[in-house]
Structure 1
Amino acid sequence: MAPPNNRLMIRALSALHRCLYRATGGLIGGRFGKANILLLTTTGRKTGRKRTTPLLYIKDGDDFVLVASNAGDDRDPGWCLNLKANPHAQVQVGWARTPVTARQASPEEKARLWPRVIDVYPGYDDYATRTSREIPVVILTPDT
C-alpha cells in the first residue's frame, strides 16, 4: 500500500488531471509520452457515486484496453473493483463520451495484449515485479 502522503498526492494530481482534461477535451492531459489517456467513469461499489479516473489505454479494434496496475500495489485499483461490482461505465476520449461494458481479459487475450501495453508504457512491467497479485487487463467494449 502506498504511504498516506503519496495517496493524497495521487488523488490531488488525479483531480487536477480530470479538471484539465475535461476543460480542454483532452488537449491537456490526453497524452503521456507514447500513451493516450481517457477518463473512465465508474459507479462506486460502496457509495453508488460516479467516480472518474484518468487512465492510460490502448485500442484493440473498437475496444479500449486498460491495465489495473495500481502502480504495483498489492491491491487492485478502486476503478477496477468498481467495474467488478458494476461493469457498466463511460469513457471520455477527447470530447467524445462513450458508454462501455467492462470485462477482464482472458489469459490468452492478456498474453496477446501485454506486449502492446508495454510498448506504450514500459513501467507496467516494473509494476508487475512489485506485486504478488496478477495485474488485471480490463477490456471495455462500447455499448451498441
Structure 2
Amino acid sequence: MPARVPPRWFVRTFWTLHRALCRVSGGRFGLWRPKPGTWGTLRLTTVGRRTGRERRVVLGYVEDGPNLVTLAMNGWAAPEPAWWLNLQATPAATVELAGASLAVTARAAAGAERDRLWAVWRTIDKELDVYAARRPAETAVVVLEPTAAR
C-alpha cells in the first residue's frame, strides 16, 4: 500500500498550532532535540524576500556535526516552502532550539553531501522517497551552518 499523506488542510493546521504553542510558551514547549532514530524541531526566523519582515516557521531537523539539516518539503506539496525561498534570497537566519538560539547561514546540500544527508533522513522516515516522488521537483536538503554571533 502506498504511503498516505494527510490532507493539506490537516498539515497546515498542525504546523500552525505547533508554531502557536512555541510562540505562546516562549519556546518552552514545541521544540525538542533529535534523538537517535528521530528528528527534532527548531524555530527558524528568516527575512521575508518581498516584505523584509521577520518570518518564523517550525521545522523538523537532524544534526550533522555542528550543522542542522532540514528538508524543504512544504508538507510534500508542489510549491517550494516560503521559508526556503526567503533563505535563498537572504541565507542569514536565526534558529531557536530547545534551550539555545544561534545565528546560521543556509545553503542547499549538493552531490554526495545531499545523498548522505538524504540517507540519514531515510533512516528516520522509511517512506521518504515515496513522499518526495509526489513533488514535481527535487526536495532541497537544507544545511543550516552556525555562524558567529550577531
Residue equivalent to 1:130: 134
Structure with bigger helix share is 1
Query: Which residue identity lines up with residue 103 of structure 2 in the other structure?
Result: P
Q: Which residue of 1 aligns with 2:21?
A: 20
CA contact (8 A) 1:21 1:30 kept: no
Unpaired segments ≥5 residues, structure 2: 1-6
Give 1:74 shift: 2.0
TM-score by length of 1: 0.84
Aligned partner letter, 1:19: A
Equivalent residue, structure 1, for 2:32? 30
Is 1:42–1:89's contact at 8 Å kept on the other side of the alignment?
yes
Q: CA RMSD in A?
A: 2.4
CA contact (8 A) 1:43 1:89 kept: yes
Count of residue pairs brought into register by the alignment: 139
Q: Show structure 1 runs of 5+ residues with no match.
A: none
CA distance in 1, matches of 2:76, 2:139: 8
Match of 2:60 among 56, 59, 68: 56
Aligned CA distance change for structure 1 residues 71 and 15 (closer, same or farther; 3 Å): closer
The one-letter amino acid of 2:18's match is H
- Worse overlay, 37-46 or 71-80: 71-80
Percent identity among equivalent residues? 38
Q: Per the alignment, in what secondary structure is the counterpart of residue 117 of structure 1?
A: helix
